[in-house]
Chains A and B, each alone.
Chain A
Amino acid sequence: MTVDPNAVTQDFPSPGPGHRRPGAARYLIPALVAGAVAVALGAYGKVHDPAGTVFNLAGFSSTIALKSWLATAAVFFALVQLVSALMLYGRLPGPAWSSALHRWSGRVAFLLSVPVAVHCLYALGYQTYDSRVLLHSILGCFFFGAFSAKMLLLRSERLPGWLLPIVGGLVLTALTIIWLTSALWFFRTFGVTT
Protein backbone atom coordinates (compact mmCIF):
# COMPACT_ATOMS: atom_id res chain seq x y z
CA MET A 1 0.00 0.00 0.00
CA THR A 2 1.10 3.49 -0.63
CA VAL A 3 -0.18 4.79 2.65
CA ASP A 4 2.08 7.25 4.37
CA PRO A 5 0.84 7.58 7.96
CA ASN A 6 2.53 10.93 8.49
CA ALA A 7 1.15 12.64 5.45
CA VAL A 8 -1.17 15.58 5.90
CA THR A 9 -4.68 14.85 4.80
CA GLN A 10 -5.58 17.17 2.07
CA ASP A 11 -8.84 17.67 0.25
CA PHE A 12 -7.36 17.73 -3.18
CA PRO A 13 -3.77 17.51 -4.30
CA SER A 14 -2.62 21.02 -4.95
CA PRO A 15 -1.39 21.32 -8.50
CA GLY A 16 2.26 21.66 -9.12
CA PRO A 17 3.99 21.45 -5.73
CA GLY A 18 7.46 20.03 -5.39
CA HIS A 19 7.61 16.29 -4.89
CA ARG A 20 10.20 15.37 -2.38
CA ARG A 21 9.60 11.67 -2.03
CA PRO A 22 9.09 10.30 -5.47
CA GLY A 23 8.45 6.72 -4.33
CA ALA A 24 7.99 4.70 -7.47
CA ALA A 25 5.43 2.49 -5.75
CA ARG A 26 2.79 5.15 -5.67
CA TYR A 27 2.82 5.26 -9.47
CA LEU A 28 3.60 1.62 -9.99
CA ILE A 29 0.78 0.23 -7.86
CA PRO A 30 -2.01 2.23 -9.53
CA ALA A 31 -0.55 1.38 -12.93
CA LEU A 32 -0.34 -2.32 -12.12
CA VAL A 33 -3.83 -2.37 -10.65
CA ALA A 34 -5.15 -0.55 -13.71
CA GLY A 35 -3.55 -3.09 -16.02
CA ALA A 36 -4.79 -5.99 -13.94
CA VAL A 37 -8.37 -4.67 -13.87
CA ALA A 38 -8.46 -4.02 -17.61
CA VAL A 39 -6.94 -7.37 -18.52
CA ALA A 40 -9.14 -9.26 -16.07
CA LEU A 41 -12.31 -7.69 -17.48
CA GLY A 42 -11.23 -8.37 -21.04
CA ALA A 43 -10.26 -11.94 -20.24
CA TYR A 44 -13.55 -12.57 -18.47
CA GLY A 45 -15.46 -11.11 -21.42
CA LYS A 46 -13.52 -13.26 -23.83
CA VAL A 47 -13.54 -16.55 -21.93
CA HIS A 48 -17.04 -16.40 -20.44
CA ASP A 49 -19.67 -17.68 -22.84
CA PRO A 50 -22.03 -14.74 -23.44
CA ALA A 51 -25.38 -15.53 -21.91
CA GLY A 52 -27.36 -13.39 -24.32
CA THR A 53 -30.25 -12.65 -21.99
CA VAL A 54 -30.36 -11.10 -18.57
CA PHE A 55 -33.07 -9.51 -16.52
CA ASN A 56 -34.63 -6.25 -17.57
CA LEU A 57 -36.46 -3.46 -15.83
CA ALA A 58 -40.13 -2.90 -16.46
CA GLY A 59 -40.78 0.06 -18.72
CA PHE A 60 -37.86 -0.56 -21.02
CA SER A 61 -38.30 -2.36 -24.29
CA SER A 62 -34.96 -4.09 -24.00
CA THR A 63 -31.97 -4.36 -21.76
CA ILE A 64 -29.97 -2.52 -24.38
CA ALA A 65 -32.33 0.44 -24.20
CA LEU A 66 -32.00 0.47 -20.41
CA LYS A 67 -28.23 0.32 -20.71
CA SER A 68 -28.18 3.15 -23.20
CA TRP A 69 -30.05 5.38 -20.78
CA LEU A 70 -27.86 4.39 -17.84
CA ALA A 71 -24.78 5.11 -19.93
CA THR A 72 -26.20 8.44 -21.00
CA ALA A 73 -26.78 9.36 -17.38
CA ALA A 74 -23.20 8.33 -16.59
CA VAL A 75 -21.89 10.56 -19.37
CA PHE A 76 -23.95 13.43 -18.01
CA PHE A 77 -22.31 13.04 -14.60
CA ALA A 78 -18.95 12.71 -16.32
CA LEU A 79 -19.52 16.12 -17.87
CA VAL A 80 -20.29 17.44 -14.39
CA GLN A 81 -16.92 15.94 -13.50
CA LEU A 82 -15.19 17.96 -16.19
CA VAL A 83 -16.83 21.21 -15.14
CA SER A 84 -16.26 20.66 -11.43
CA ALA A 85 -12.62 19.70 -12.05
CA LEU A 86 -12.12 22.95 -13.94
CA MET A 87 -13.59 24.72 -10.92
CA LEU A 88 -11.21 22.92 -8.57
CA TYR A 89 -8.25 23.91 -10.68
CA GLY A 90 -9.44 27.49 -10.79
CA ARG A 91 -10.14 27.56 -14.48
CA LEU A 92 -13.79 28.25 -13.85
CA PRO A 93 -15.41 30.16 -11.01
CA GLY A 94 -16.93 27.63 -8.70
CA PRO A 95 -18.71 27.38 -5.37
CA ALA A 96 -17.09 26.13 -2.18
CA TRP A 97 -18.81 22.80 -2.58
CA SER A 98 -17.32 22.11 -5.98
CA SER A 99 -14.99 19.49 -4.53
CA ALA A 100 -17.95 17.66 -3.03
CA LEU A 101 -19.71 18.01 -6.37
CA HIS A 102 -16.69 16.49 -8.08
CA ARG A 103 -16.47 13.57 -5.70
CA TRP A 104 -20.15 12.72 -5.71
CA SER A 105 -20.79 13.18 -9.42
CA GLY A 106 -17.84 10.89 -10.03
CA ARG A 107 -19.19 8.26 -7.68
CA VAL A 108 -22.63 8.42 -9.27
CA ALA A 109 -21.18 8.19 -12.77
CA PHE A 110 -19.04 5.22 -11.80
CA LEU A 111 -21.84 3.40 -10.04
CA LEU A 112 -24.16 3.98 -13.01
CA SER A 113 -21.56 2.51 -15.33
CA VAL A 114 -21.09 -0.67 -13.31
CA PRO A 115 -24.42 -2.37 -14.12
CA VAL A 116 -23.93 -1.48 -17.77
CA ALA A 117 -20.50 -3.08 -17.77
CA VAL A 118 -21.78 -6.14 -15.93
CA HIS A 119 -24.39 -6.63 -18.61
CA CYS A 120 -21.85 -6.08 -21.37
CA LEU A 121 -19.46 -8.62 -19.95
CA TYR A 122 -22.02 -11.13 -18.82
CA ALA A 123 -24.41 -11.12 -21.74
CA LEU A 124 -22.34 -9.95 -24.68
CA GLY A 125 -18.69 -10.54 -23.91
CA TYR A 126 -15.56 -9.14 -25.44
CA GLN A 127 -16.36 -8.98 -29.15
CA THR A 128 -14.31 -8.01 -32.18
CA TYR A 129 -16.65 -8.49 -35.10
CA ASP A 130 -16.52 -4.91 -36.30
CA SER A 131 -14.50 -1.82 -35.53
CA ARG A 132 -17.21 -0.16 -33.43
CA VAL A 133 -17.57 -3.22 -31.27
CA LEU A 134 -13.82 -3.75 -31.04
CA LEU A 135 -13.20 -0.16 -29.98
CA HIS A 136 -16.02 -0.40 -27.47
CA SER A 137 -14.67 -3.64 -26.00
CA ILE A 138 -11.13 -2.34 -25.66
CA LEU A 139 -12.11 1.00 -24.16
CA GLY A 140 -14.66 -0.59 -21.86
CA CYS A 141 -11.89 -2.59 -20.22
CA PHE A 142 -9.53 0.38 -20.34
CA PHE A 143 -12.08 2.63 -18.63
CA PHE A 144 -12.34 0.54 -15.49
CA GLY A 145 -8.58 0.13 -15.34
CA ALA A 146 -8.01 3.86 -15.73
CA PHE A 147 -10.71 4.64 -13.20
CA SER A 148 -9.09 2.32 -10.65
CA ALA A 149 -5.77 4.04 -11.24
CA LYS A 150 -7.39 7.43 -10.76
CA MET A 151 -8.93 6.36 -7.46
CA LEU A 152 -5.66 4.93 -6.17
CA LEU A 153 -3.67 7.98 -7.28
CA LEU A 154 -6.02 10.19 -5.30
CA ARG A 155 -4.67 8.57 -2.18
CA SER A 156 -1.14 9.72 -2.89
CA GLU A 157 0.15 13.09 -1.81
CA ARG A 158 2.28 15.45 -3.82
CA LEU A 159 1.72 14.03 -7.23
CA PRO A 160 3.02 15.99 -10.17
CA GLY A 161 0.33 18.56 -10.90
CA TRP A 162 -0.37 17.29 -14.38
CA LEU A 163 -0.92 13.68 -13.42
CA LEU A 164 -4.48 13.70 -12.10
CA PRO A 165 -5.82 15.89 -14.91
CA ILE A 166 -4.21 13.57 -17.45
CA VAL A 167 -5.58 10.40 -15.86
CA GLY A 168 -8.96 12.01 -15.27
CA GLY A 169 -8.99 13.19 -18.86
CA LEU A 170 -8.23 9.66 -20.04
CA VAL A 171 -11.11 8.31 -17.99
CA LEU A 172 -13.48 10.93 -19.38
CA THR A 173 -12.31 10.42 -22.96
CA ALA A 174 -12.67 6.66 -22.68
CA LEU A 175 -16.17 6.96 -21.26
CA THR A 176 -17.18 9.37 -24.00
CA ILE A 177 -15.98 7.08 -26.77
CA ILE A 178 -17.61 4.12 -25.07
CA TRP A 179 -20.85 6.05 -25.07
CA LEU A 180 -20.45 7.12 -28.70
CA THR A 181 -19.86 3.53 -29.80
CA SER A 182 -22.80 2.11 -27.87
CA ALA A 183 -25.59 4.31 -26.62
CA LEU A 184 -25.36 6.88 -29.41
CA TRP A 185 -25.15 4.06 -31.94
CA PHE A 186 -28.21 2.48 -30.34
CA PHE A 187 -30.21 5.71 -30.41
CA ARG A 188 -29.25 6.37 -34.02
CA THR A 189 -30.05 2.82 -35.09
CA PHE A 190 -33.21 2.16 -33.14
CA GLY A 191 -34.43 5.65 -32.35
CA VAL A 192 -34.44 7.41 -29.03
CA THR A 193 -36.59 4.85 -27.32
CA THR A 194 -37.02 3.48 -23.86
Chain B
Amino acid sequence: MKRPGPLLTLLAGLLVGVFMLSLNATTGTRNASSSPPTTATPTPTPKSSPAPSPSPSKTPIPDARYTGRTDDDSASVAVTLRGGKALAYYCDGRAEEAWLKGDVNDDGTMRLTAEDGSVLNGALKEGNRIRGTVDVGGGSQAFTADRTTKPAGLYRATATVNGTETDGGWIVQPDGGQVGILTRDGRPAPAPRLDPGTGAVTVDGQRLTARPATP
Protein backbone atom coordinates (compact mmCIF):
# COMPACT_ATOMS: atom_id res chain seq x y z
CA MET B 1 0.00 0.00 0.00
CA LYS B 2 1.14 3.43 -0.68
CA ARG B 3 0.12 6.63 0.92
CA PRO B 4 -2.76 5.58 3.17
CA GLY B 5 -3.20 9.09 4.60
CA PRO B 6 -5.87 10.39 2.23
CA LEU B 7 -7.92 7.23 2.53
CA LEU B 8 -7.67 7.35 6.31
CA THR B 9 -8.82 10.96 6.21
CA LEU B 10 -11.87 10.02 4.17
CA LEU B 11 -12.54 7.08 6.43
CA ALA B 12 -12.30 9.25 9.55
CA GLY B 13 -14.76 11.71 8.04
CA LEU B 14 -17.12 8.90 7.18
CA LEU B 15 -16.90 7.50 10.71
CA VAL B 16 -17.54 10.90 12.29
CA GLY B 17 -20.51 11.39 9.98
CA VAL B 18 -22.03 8.01 10.72
CA PHE B 19 -21.41 8.46 14.42
CA MET B 20 -23.13 11.86 14.48
CA LEU B 21 -26.00 10.55 12.41
CA SER B 22 -26.63 7.70 14.79
CA LEU B 23 -26.34 10.09 17.71
CA ASN B 24 -28.95 12.33 16.12
CA ALA B 25 -31.22 9.44 15.35
CA THR B 26 -31.09 8.02 18.86
CA THR B 27 -31.22 11.20 20.92
CA GLY B 28 -33.99 12.95 19.09
CA THR B 29 -35.85 14.18 22.15
CA ARG B 30 -33.18 14.08 24.80
CA ASN B 31 -31.57 17.32 23.72
CA ALA B 32 -33.82 19.57 25.75
CA SER B 33 -32.83 18.04 29.04
CA SER B 34 -29.15 17.73 28.27
CA SER B 35 -28.59 21.26 27.01
CA PRO B 36 -31.50 23.62 26.85
CA PRO B 37 -30.30 25.90 24.09
CA THR B 38 -32.50 28.87 24.73
CA THR B 39 -32.80 28.91 28.48
CA ALA B 40 -29.07 28.63 29.05
CA THR B 41 -28.57 32.32 28.43
CA PRO B 42 -31.76 34.05 29.45
CA THR B 43 -30.62 37.56 30.19
CA PRO B 44 -27.08 38.60 29.39
CA THR B 45 -26.97 38.27 25.63
CA PRO B 46 -29.52 40.19 23.68
CA LYS B 47 -28.74 39.11 20.15
CA SER B 48 -27.12 41.90 18.23
CA SER B 49 -29.74 41.85 15.58
CA PRO B 50 -29.05 43.99 12.54
CA ALA B 51 -32.67 45.07 12.54
CA PRO B 52 -33.12 48.26 14.53
CA SER B 53 -34.00 46.82 17.91
CA PRO B 54 -36.65 49.04 19.37
CA SER B 55 -36.51 50.06 23.00
CA PRO B 56 -38.74 47.88 25.10
CA SER B 57 -41.24 50.51 26.13
CA LYS B 58 -42.76 53.79 24.94
CA THR B 59 -42.44 53.05 21.25
CA PRO B 60 -45.27 51.15 19.64
CA ILE B 61 -44.85 47.40 19.44
CA PRO B 62 -43.09 46.64 16.14
CA ASP B 63 -44.77 44.38 13.63
CA ALA B 64 -42.71 41.22 13.46
CA ARG B 65 -42.79 37.47 13.41
CA TYR B 66 -41.36 35.22 16.07
CA THR B 67 -40.75 31.49 16.04
CA GLY B 68 -39.44 29.14 18.67
CA ARG B 69 -40.02 26.03 20.66
CA THR B 70 -41.22 25.02 24.06
CA ASP B 71 -38.44 24.48 26.55
CA ASP B 72 -39.03 20.72 26.55
CA ASP B 73 -38.70 20.82 22.75
CA SER B 74 -41.96 18.97 22.30
CA ALA B 75 -43.75 21.65 20.32
CA SER B 76 -43.21 24.76 18.26
CA VAL B 77 -44.63 28.19 18.98
CA ALA B 78 -44.92 31.08 16.55
CA VAL B 79 -46.25 34.57 17.17
CA THR B 80 -47.04 37.25 14.61
CA LEU B 81 -47.45 40.83 15.82
CA ARG B 82 -49.24 43.43 13.79
CA GLY B 83 -50.70 46.74 14.81
CA GLY B 84 -50.57 45.97 18.51
CA LYS B 85 -52.36 42.64 18.06
CA ALA B 86 -50.89 39.21 18.27
CA LEU B 87 -51.71 35.87 16.67
CA ALA B 88 -49.95 32.82 18.04
CA TYR B 89 -49.92 29.21 16.97
CA TYR B 90 -48.87 26.30 19.12
CA CYS B 91 -48.24 23.05 17.28
CA ASP B 92 -46.63 19.76 18.24
CA GLY B 93 -46.72 18.46 14.67
CA ARG B 94 -48.93 15.50 15.57
CA ALA B 95 -52.19 16.18 17.33
CA GLU B 96 -52.04 19.18 19.63
CA GLU B 97 -52.47 22.65 18.25
CA ALA B 98 -53.97 25.98 19.26
CA TRP B 99 -54.55 29.30 17.56
CA LEU B 100 -54.41 32.09 20.11
CA LYS B 101 -55.30 35.74 19.71
CA GLY B 102 -55.11 38.88 21.78
CA ASP B 103 -53.69 42.34 22.25
CA VAL B 104 -50.14 43.33 23.03
CA ASN B 105 -49.80 45.73 25.94
CA ASP B 106 -47.57 48.76 25.67
CA ASP B 107 -44.99 47.14 27.94
CA GLY B 108 -44.71 44.21 25.54
CA THR B 109 -46.65 41.70 27.59
CA MET B 110 -49.51 39.78 26.06
CA ARG B 111 -52.21 37.38 27.08
CA LEU B 112 -53.57 35.46 24.12
CA THR B 113 -56.50 33.11 24.29
CA ALA B 114 -58.10 30.46 22.14
CA GLU B 115 -61.70 29.35 21.93
CA ASP B 116 -60.92 26.03 23.56
CA GLY B 117 -59.53 27.69 26.67
CA SER B 118 -55.86 27.56 25.76
CA VAL B 119 -53.87 30.53 27.04
CA LEU B 120 -50.53 32.02 26.13
CA ASN B 121 -48.83 34.51 28.42
CA GLY B 122 -45.79 36.13 26.92
CA ALA B 123 -43.52 39.12 27.18
CA LEU B 124 -41.44 40.78 24.52
CA LYS B 125 -37.77 40.99 25.51
CA GLU B 126 -35.64 43.69 23.86
CA GLY B 127 -37.93 43.54 20.86
CA ASN B 128 -36.29 40.40 19.52
CA ARG B 129 -37.60 37.58 21.69
CA ILE B 130 -40.84 36.50 23.27
CA ARG B 131 -40.63 34.47 26.44
CA GLY B 132 -43.60 33.03 28.21
CA THR B 133 -45.79 30.07 28.94
CA VAL B 134 -48.49 28.40 26.94
CA ASP B 135 -51.25 26.27 28.43
CA VAL B 136 -52.64 23.87 25.87
CA GLY B 137 -54.42 20.56 26.44
CA GLY B 138 -54.14 20.69 30.20
CA GLY B 139 -50.38 21.21 30.46
CA SER B 140 -48.33 24.34 30.87
CA GLN B 141 -45.08 24.76 28.96
CA ALA B 142 -42.53 27.52 28.90
CA PHE B 143 -41.40 28.68 25.50
CA THR B 144 -39.04 31.10 23.81
CA ALA B 145 -39.63 32.53 20.35
CA ASP B 146 -36.99 34.58 18.60
CA ARG B 147 -37.63 37.32 16.11
CA THR B 148 -37.22 36.06 12.59
CA THR B 149 -37.83 36.96 8.98
CA LYS B 150 -39.40 35.39 5.93
CA PRO B 151 -39.69 32.60 5.02
CA ALA B 152 -39.72 31.61 8.68
CA GLY B 153 -42.97 32.24 10.49
CA LEU B 154 -46.55 31.19 10.75
CA TYR B 155 -48.61 29.90 7.80
CA ARG B 156 -52.21 28.86 7.45
CA ALA B 157 -54.30 27.30 4.72
CA THR B 158 -58.02 26.69 4.86
CA ALA B 159 -59.92 25.05 2.04
CA THR B 160 -62.42 22.44 1.15
CA VAL B 161 -60.65 19.46 -0.36
CA ASN B 162 -62.86 16.76 -1.88
CA GLY B 163 -65.75 18.01 0.20
CA THR B 164 -63.72 17.89 3.44
CA GLU B 165 -63.15 21.01 5.49
CA THR B 166 -59.40 21.21 5.93
CA ASP B 167 -57.48 23.66 8.07
CA GLY B 168 -53.69 23.57 8.08
CA GLY B 169 -51.26 25.46 10.25
CA TRP B 170 -47.47 25.47 9.87
CA ILE B 171 -44.56 26.93 11.78
CA VAL B 172 -41.44 27.36 9.68
CA GLN B 173 -38.29 27.84 11.75
CA PRO B 174 -35.42 30.04 10.55
CA ASP B 175 -33.26 26.94 10.09
CA GLY B 176 -35.79 25.64 7.56
CA GLY B 177 -37.32 23.05 9.86
CA GLN B 178 -41.07 23.06 10.05
CA VAL B 179 -44.00 21.46 11.81
CA GLY B 180 -47.63 21.55 10.86
CA ILE B 181 -50.99 20.05 11.63
CA LEU B 182 -53.73 19.50 9.12
CA THR B 183 -57.23 19.13 10.49
CA ARG B 184 -59.71 17.32 8.28
CA ASP B 185 -63.30 17.67 9.52
CA GLY B 186 -62.00 18.24 13.03
CA ARG B 187 -59.47 15.40 13.06
CA PRO B 188 -55.89 16.63 13.44
CA ALA B 189 -52.96 14.87 11.75
CA PRO B 190 -49.39 15.77 10.79
CA ALA B 191 -49.48 18.15 7.86
CA PRO B 192 -47.70 17.55 4.57
CA ARG B 193 -44.61 19.59 3.95
CA LEU B 194 -45.03 23.19 2.95
CA ASP B 195 -42.73 24.99 0.54
CA PRO B 196 -41.85 28.05 2.64
CA GLY B 197 -40.86 30.07 -0.42
CA THR B 198 -44.18 29.83 -2.21
CA GLY B 199 -46.55 28.53 0.45
CA ALA B 200 -47.43 25.65 -1.86
CA VAL B 201 -48.58 22.45 -0.24
CA THR B 202 -50.29 19.40 -1.67
CA VAL B 203 -53.18 18.11 0.42
CA ASP B 204 -54.79 14.82 -0.62
CA GLY B 205 -53.70 15.41 -4.18
CA GLN B 206 -54.92 18.99 -4.33
CA ARG B 207 -52.53 21.90 -4.40
CA LEU B 208 -53.19 24.61 -1.85
CA THR B 209 -51.41 27.82 -1.01
CA ALA B 210 -50.77 28.58 2.63
CA ARG B 211 -50.47 32.25 3.50
CA PRO B 212 -48.57 33.95 6.29
CA ALA B 213 -51.04 34.23 9.14
CA THR B 214 -51.53 37.65 10.71
CA PRO B 215 -53.76 38.93 13.53
Task: Give which listed residue, B20, B173, B177, contacts A115 with CB less than 8 A.
Answer: B20
List the B residue with the shortest CB-CB distance to A4.
B2
Complex interface residues of chain B between 11 and 36 (CB less than 8 A to chain A): 12-13, 16-17, 20-21, 23-25, 27-28, 30-31, 34-35
A9/B2 in contact, CB under 8 A: yes
How far is B74's CA from A52's CA once the two chains are assembled, in angstroms? 12
Main secondary structure of the interface of B (DSSP, over half): loop
CB distance from A98 to the nearest CB of B (A): 16
Task: Give which listed residue, A3, A130, A150, contacts B197 with CB less than 8 A.
Answer: A130
B17/A118 in contact, CB under 8 A: yes
Residues of B within 8 A of A110 (CB): 9, 13
For residue B94, CB closer than 8 A to chain A, the reply is no
For chain B, give the interface size range: 35 or more
Report A1-22 CB contacts with B as 1/0, cut-off 8 Å. Answer: 0011101010000000000000
Report A36-68 CB contacts with B as 1/0, cut-off 8 Å. Answer: 000000000000011111111111111110000
Task: Give which listed residue, B5, B13, B151, contacts A111 with CB less than 8 A.
Answer: B13
List the A residue with the shortest CB-CB distance to B176.
A124
Residues of B within 8 A of A124 (CB): 175-177
B177/A53 in contact, CB under 8 A: yes
CB distance from B29 to the nearest CB of A (A): 8
For residue A193, CB closer than 8 A to chain B, the reply is yes
How far is B148's CA from A189's CA once the two chains are assembled, in angstroms? 9
Report B159-181 CB contacts with A as 1/0, cut-off 8 Å. Answer: 00000000000000111111100
- Known pairs A63-B37, A124-B176, A193-B45 / 13 extra A-B pairs, C-beta < 8 Å: A50-B176, A52-B179, A53-B31, A53-B177, A56-B37, A111-B16, A115-B17, A119-B20, A123-B24, A127-B176, A151-B9, A190-B174, A191-B50
9 A-B pairs with the lowest CB-CB distances in the bound complex, closest first: A52-B177, A129-B197, A191-B48, A151-B6, A55-B31, A58-B35, A118-B20, A154-B6, A56-B37
**Between-chain CB contacts (< 8 Å), 16 pairs:** A9-B3, A49-B193, A52-B175, A53-B28, A53-B73, A55-B35, A60-B37, A61-B40, A115-B17, A117-B17, A129-B197, A152-B6, A188-B50, A191-B50, A193-B45, A193-B47
